[in-house]
């Protein structure tokens, strides 16, 4: 799961393209998170924690990490046999 999370988020942050901005907009939990991620192209997921729980659903996983110096929470959901990032929240 951690490998999939890193790959998916780092891919979205790799270059400032329309498709990557669209993906970040869809994944962002709120507008402030989207603005931060949009301005963080070229950064990567750092200090990724182990799974912090499943949010009450065995098909979910919550992870903590750092993106561009800020703490972020990322939710992954099991879909079609694979894990997909479904939400990113950046904290102050």
| Max Cα distance, the chain (Å) | 35
The pLDDT, as a whole number, for residue 17 is 95
pLDDT tens readout for residues 5-38: 999 999 999 999 999 999 999 999 999 999 999 9
The pLDDT, as a whole number, for residue 29 is 97
The pLDDT, as a whole number, for residue 92 is 78
What is the C-alpha separation between 19 and 63, in angstroms, rounded?
Answer: 24
Residue 75 above 90 pLDDT?
yes
**What strands lie across the sheet with 82-90, from one edge to the other?**
45-46, 60-67, 70-79, 82-90
Weakest-pLDDT range from 3-7, 20-24, 56-60, 81-85: 56-60
The domain locations on the chain are: 2-90
């Amino acid at each position: 799961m951690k490998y999939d999370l890193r790959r998916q988020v780092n891919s979205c942050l790799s270059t400032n393209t329309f498709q990557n901005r669209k993906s970040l907009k869809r994944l962002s939990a709120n507008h402030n998170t989207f603005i931060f991620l949009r301005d963080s192209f070229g950064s990567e997921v750092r200090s990724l924690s182990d799974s912090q729980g499943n949010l009450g659903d065995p098909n979910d996983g919550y992870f903590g990490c750092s993106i561009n110096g800020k703490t972020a929470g990322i939710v992954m959901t099991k879909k079609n046999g694979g894990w997909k990032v479904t939400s990113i929240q950046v904290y102050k």
